[in-house]
Amino acid sequence: MSKEYRQRIDAKNNMKIEQYLSDMPMLVDKYVTSTARTKASRTMLSYIQKIRHFLEYMRANHPAFDGKTLSDITRVELDQITIDDAEDFLAFLFSHQLDCIDKTNSNNTVENYISALNSFFRFLSKREEITKNPFEDVQRYHKKVTKPLFLDKKESLDFYDHVMTGEGLSKKEQMYRDKHDISFRDYLICKIMGTTGIRVSECVGLNLDDIDFKNKSLSIIRKGKKKAHVYISDTLARELTEYIEDVRPLFHPLDSEQALFLVSVGKYKGCRLTVRSVQRLIKKYAIAAGVSNASEFSPHTLRHSFAMNAMKESGGNIRLTQQLLGHESITTTTVYVQALDDELREMRNKMDPNE
């Protein structure tokens, strides 16, 4: 993956972080300085947004914060937050947002808040800025584990065919594809994610020199800024060679542009394709291909598909699948074990000729 691309994403997130920190308590700034080394910039930004939300809630609901601006808040006020205050805030989250628009938050959302706030107050507690972490013993709202949406091998081949041919697209969409020569580009984007399991951010971050044609591998940067290599098939390597030699030049990139996948039209023609653009094009092709739950289809569906097919091909080898996906914890990978077991259970009657 392009180091420069990752640096641009981090710079954008870090700029937003600095904007948030400009009027927040000094202790939040210290927390960010200490924690940013071990967390992705996107995660850090999300944590700060949630900490800010909580502190705004405290200003509106806790007497110790009355009349305080965010930047006025010190360890004195933070040390007066109790577990009851923490649980009141979590109850608030289930029915409201900060802007007072009625909206019920999911267990996942609340659990994400707990993770962020627990991290912040644990930092303060360890450094004896406060006497106790108010979020340490709150009730956890465990994330609901849902069966991942995925395509089996046959469905994946059918999906790739629809991307390549454009079958199922509207006439207008077909004309756009043909005019801007994007069919092969779109096909390779989908196939890379579906056959390597890399994330959409890792895919759009690929540079030309991230492809090792000799060893049939791609260099990427995983979550947590960890470098990794994933292997590609001989067929995909040949297709990438064809794309780089015959298709990519049609987008007229500058000599300095090293991104593998480029914008095809407009003022950003020849520049790196964005995550959002890939998300849109994948959903478009899913609808065209008539896949189940097409409205929920996303780049991560292709990652799920890779994971499920890896589980099947490896005989349920969860450790191998964990390594292929780059999961730090095997717990994250266990969702595919359950999904595979569900498939086996559904097959039980199909194996009996009397059923």
Nearest to 192 by CA among 178, 211, 170, 165: 211
**247 C-beta neighbours (distance < 10 Å), count:** 17
> What is the spatial distance between Cα 97 and Cα 53, in angstroms, rounded to a whole number?
9
For 207, the 3-state DSSP assignment is strand
> What residues contact 300, with CB distance under 8 A and at least 6 apart?
199, 200
Beta strands in the chain (DSSP E): 211-212, 217-221, 227-231
Tell me the two tokens of residue 77.
């006020």
Residues annotated as catalytic (active site), given as ranges: 199, 223, 300, 303, 327, 336
> What is the spatial distance between Cα 261 and Cα 166, in angstroms, rounded to a whole number?
19
67 burial via Cβ count (<10 Å: 0-12, 13-18, 19+)? exposed
- Bridge partners for 221 per DSSP: 227
Nearest to 109 by CA among 121, 123, 120, 97: 97
> What is the spatial distance between Cα 72 and Cα 78, in angstroms, rounded to a whole number?
11
Residue that the structure tokens 């995660």 belong to: 43
Residue that the structure tokens 């608030």 belong to: 92
Tell me the two tokens of residue 234.
């001989």
> What is the spatial distance between Cα 69 and Cα 156, in angstroms, rounded to a whole number?
54
Tell me the two tokens of residue 347.
């097959």
For 319, the 3-state DSSP assignment is helix
CB distance 251 to 263 below 8 Å = yes
SS (H, E, C) 65-96: HCCCCHHHCCHHHHCCCCHHHHHHHHHHHCCE
